[in-house]
A = this chain, B = another copy of it.
Amino acid sequence: MPTKTKSSKPKKALFRKAVKYVYSFGSGKADGNGKMKALLGGKGANLAEMTRIRLPVPAGFTISTEVCTYFYENQSTYPPSLERQIDEAIAKIEHSMGKKLGDPVNPLLLAVRSGARDSMPGMMDTILNLGLNDKTVRALAERSRNERFAYDCYRRFLQMYGDVVMGVQKRPGEDHDPFEVVIENLKKELHPKDPHIADTKLDASALRTLTDRFRKLIRERTGQDFPDDPREQLRGSVGAVFGSWNNDRAIVYRRKYNIPHEWGTAVNVQAMVFGNTGNDSGSGVSFTRDPATGEKVLYGEFLLNAQGEDVVAGVRTPEPVAQLQVEMPEVFRQLQDVRHTLEGHFHDMQDFEFTVEQGRLFMLQTRNGKRTGFAAVRIAVEMVKEKLIKPDDAIRRIPADSLSQLLAPVFEAKARKTTEVIARGLPAGPGAASGQIYFQANDAEAAAQKGLKVLLVRIETSPEDIRGMLAAEGILTARGGVSSHAALVARQMGKVCVCGASDLHIDYAKSTLTVRGKTFNKGDFLSIDGTTGEIFPGEVKTSPSDIVRVLIDKDMTAAESPIYRVFAQLMQWADQRRKLEVRANADQPDQVGHAIAFGAQGVGLCRTEHMFFEGDRIDHVREMILAENLEERARALAKLLPAQRSDFAGIFKALGGRPGTIRLLDPPLHEFLPHDTAAQQALADKLGISIERIARRVKELHEFNPMLGHRGCRLGIVFPEISEMQARAIFEAAAEVQAAGIKVRPEIMIPLVGFPKELELQLALVHRVAAQVQKERHLKLSYLVGTMIEIPRACIVADEIAKSAQFFSFGTNDLTQTALGMSRDDAGSFLPRYQEEEIVRQNPFAVLDQLGVGKLMEMAVKLGRSTRKDIKLGICGEHGGDPDSVKFCHRLGLAYVSCSPFRLPIARLAAAQAALKD
């Protein structure tokens, strides 16, 4: 645009007015406050806030993130007014502490720390003991009456400053840090017999020698002297902290945690306090409640006679903070007060750092504490009871995914500690399971029927293995990702699952599993932790979660389980708020029962083919597939009809009037036929036909890309008699259950529709059968017919499809596979690299790809509604149980999400969180 010329002046121009860059705090007053995290960083804002609420914070100031931005936009220079503002702030500290920077008698020492808006622990630089030089160190020695302490502070400062500010670091070809080399050499000189003595054994004189040598080293390496002037030290340190915002590890961290590069960091400059001046001093890190269990106790650790850095570094093992009750009762009492003050003020569990200097408590930091899922729920619910927060806050605060921890069985803590981990896989179904390993589904089933605890171990699983999976405590596979068949089915069944453990070598012929030289035979015990992916040898003891014991096993009452009670309370609040309905993907009556216990308002996906493997139906199914003409096929289908009818009747009863979406046959037929010769021979004998005929049919049905093959409604189009049998089974079952006085709301779902006419044809068939059954049974049934939206073309022509579909259910598993051209079962060979290269941020089969698949969904929703304003919209892919995806579905305006029963609480909470965002 010609009227607007781009300025070529330096950006400094913008800062000409005396903008405030420096925010002081100390003596109960602060320029900033806790809400100013964007400007002051998390640490700086909370230091200001703590000062305001009269907690004992050493005086200091924060240089705002705007300066960082300026620094990067102006070739590492600062706004002109900054120096003056810093001088004023230092004067305030000096006044507050009664010390002076660089004073040869009573010198003020400073700590310089980074502090971004979001915590980036350990990523950026810190400088302590700033203000020391050859003169002030003597003053410190005198005032502390501890020469060793003073020179130790000084040599640490030289080492940090030399490294961080002046860049004295290991060079290519060098094996050790140059400062450490100087220390080692000195030790050799002074203690030739014991050159490896601890640093703490070096006396004041040795440390003084070190300070000289460090100064020399700096000069040698940089050609510059270490700056004695504390203000120059401060300038250098502030620059180094800003510079460290863009060091490699900080960039990697921000990328990983989605922190924008342009936020920048603030710099906190604070008077030093010392926890290492003797046994009346120390440093600690504490939580206002237990971050693992959520219990309302002061929890944390303390290290006597140590600086804060020592606690975090883990060099000495700290003691529980409760110990202070004995050792420093007054400090402990103060800490309890601090705890109440913090929670009362911040309304959340706090993770805080403190230092005790000669019996006096100083607060150095506070922030919201990280916690387990258990703790998250318990703390949030209890804080509502304590009127610290509102139920809305509780809902917002708990990461929905963390609820999976509350539902999973667990290894008994003691047992797991004593067992070595032999291999690791992907944590695909949370919880803990032990059992005897079996490699074949039928073996596993047989063993389970004998009352054995079984682990099904497969290279990978397929639908043929379902009964074995059902029978097993847990499933372990050598191949496949967290959305492989094994993982998917396991999650739905609430089974423990570790998948893709590629170190396992499974030999089906020998029935052995070899891992790192160790071989396990069929029947040997293994244990797997589906929350961590760990695999243990032998049997590690487990127990089911409280939630499952109360809701499903019913061997525990709500009264007996505090965690159940807080969970139930949370779910109640969530249900009151959410707008999305939640349904379950469930194929069998007992699964439906569990789903309802977990809050399902209906079934969103009943995969009828999962029932095909039960009892002798698989024989009828195979007979149907092997039929050489319509007549033979019809005969086999007639045998299948009663079984399917009773399945559906069971589901309708279990639903008790709730809606149930039943999908017609979806998988390609070859999945139902046996593929190895022995099983084919057995089937041939059973059906009285030749094995050649079976082998031929298997060959005929072979597909290069079964995912894109003859499946879904394509089966019902080519073999309408299959759809007809299924429709009849559904309506006859519905009639039966309705006649028994239970309301029935079947929703029949046609899978894999891409062309409007496909749906029209199947729809006509379903309506025809419905009319027949209603006439035969003399009753009126109320039902819907709709379709899965699971291939891109369906989204594109959704307006046409909506002419016949009463509902759309997004099958985001297949929609993801087709939209991305990526097979879920095969993506394992490149997806990990894709995540590493940040081509994808998350596994698109676990978390909905909103920019790609989501766009197609949006299109389908818009087009679908353009034809049928009140079309019912839902999702039944695995994503229905993923919190981010649930929130996306809420924004899309879907009516419901459907997921595996064990994900229902997560979906309920995520749906409530989404509703609160409106």
Contact = CB atoms under 8 A, between A and B. Distances in A.
Interface of A: 703-710, 714, 717-718, 752, 754-755, 757-758, 761, 790-793, 796-797, 814, 817-823, 825-827, 829-830, 833-834, 837-840, 849, 851-853, 855-856
A837 B713 CA distance: 13
A821 B790 contact: yes
Contacts of A709: 823, 826-827, 829
Contact of A822 (B754, B796, B830): B754
Given A707-B823, A793-B819, 11 more contacts: A704-B823, A705-B706, A706-B826, A709-B829, A710-B830, A714-B830, A717-B834, A755-B839, A791-B820, A796-B856, A814-B821
Nearest to A712: B821
Contact of A717 (B717, B825, B833): B833
Nearest to A459: B699
Nearest to A834: B717
A708 B710 contact: no
B826 A704 contact: yes
20 contacts: A704-B706, A705-B705, A705-B825, A708-B817, A708-B818, A708-B821, A708-B823, A717-B834, A717-B837, A717-B839, A757-B837, A761-B839, A790-B821, A791-B821, A792-B820, A793-B821, A793-B852, A796-B852, A796-B856, A818-B818
A797 B851 contact: yes
Contacts of A705: 705-708, 817, 823, 825-826
A853 B851 CA distance: 19
Contacts of A827: 709
Contacts of A758: 839
Given A705-B705, A718-B830, A830-B710, A761 B837 contact: yes
A718 B829 contact: yes
A827 B703 CA distance: 9
Contacts of A851: 796-797
A827 B562 CA distance: 57
A276 to B, nearest CB: 48
A708 B849 CA distance: 17
Task: Identify the 3 closest CB pairs spanning chains A and B, nearest first.
Answer: A791-B821, A708-B823, A705-B823
Nearest to A839: B757
A791 B819 contact: yes
Nearest to A668: B826
Given A758-B839, A855-B796, A707 B708 contact: yes
A486 to B, nearest CB: 13
Nearest to A790: B821
A833 B757 CA distance: 12
Contact of A755 (B706, B710, B754, B840): B840
Contacts of A823: 703-705, 707-709
A442 to B, nearest CB: 14
Contacts of A755: 834, 839-840
Contacts of A714: 830, 834
A666 to B, nearest CB: 12
Nearest to A853: B793
Nearest to A715: B830
Contacts of A814: 821
B757 A821 contact: no
Nearest to A800: B851
A708 B757 contact: no
A705 B829 CA distance: 13
A757 B791 CA distance: 24
A766 to B, nearest CB: 16
Nearest to A502: B700
A226 to B, nearest CB: 40
Given A818-B819, A819-B792, A826-B703, A797 B852 contact: yes
B826 A710 contact: yes
A139 B30 CA distance: 126
- Which interface residue of A708, A823, A837 has the most chain B CB atoms within 10 A? A708
